[in-house]
């Protein structure tokens, strides 16, 4: 991944007012992935929306990390099913153009 797609965890923590340990715990629970370049650890910019959602769930709704894991799993399944439905609709429209 290119360096312009990375943000230092320290910068992220300062910008979002979260503890470094919180980000580490997200990685330990496999909720996010970090990249190590040299001695520094970075977050991937494409993950920011996901991380922001996790922070809101944790801080605003007071959901623990295990609950967030369950929610993320369910959201992933929903996204997969949405893609599958779109694919099936496209196939059906091929055979039934009026639908």
Span 59-84, pLDDT tens digits? 999 999 999 999 999 999 999 999 99
Phi, psi of 82 (to 5 degrees): -60, -45
Q: Which long-range contacts (CB under 8 A, 24 or more apart) does 7-11 make?
A: 7/42, 7/43, 7/45, 7/48, 8/40, 8/41, 8/42, 8/43, 9/34, 9/40, 9/41, 9/42, 9/43, 10/40
What residue spans define the domains of the chain? Answer: 3-95
What CATH number has the domain spanning 3-95? 1.10.1660.10
Span 4-28, pLDDT tens digits? 789 999 999 999 999 999 999 999 9
């Amino acid at each position: 991944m290119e360096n312009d797609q990375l943000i230092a965890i320290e910068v992220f923590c300062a910008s979002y007012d979260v503890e470094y340990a919180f980000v580490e715990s997200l990685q330990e629970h496999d909720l996010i992935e970090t990249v190590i370049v040299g001695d520094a650890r970075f977050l991937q910019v494409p993950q920011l929306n996901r991380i922001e959602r996790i922070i809101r769930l944790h801080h605003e709704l007071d959901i623990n990390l295990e609950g967030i894991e369950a929610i993320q799993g369910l959201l992933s399944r929903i996204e997969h099913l949405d893609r599958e439905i779109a694919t099936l609709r496209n196939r059906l429209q091929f055979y039934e153009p009026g639908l």
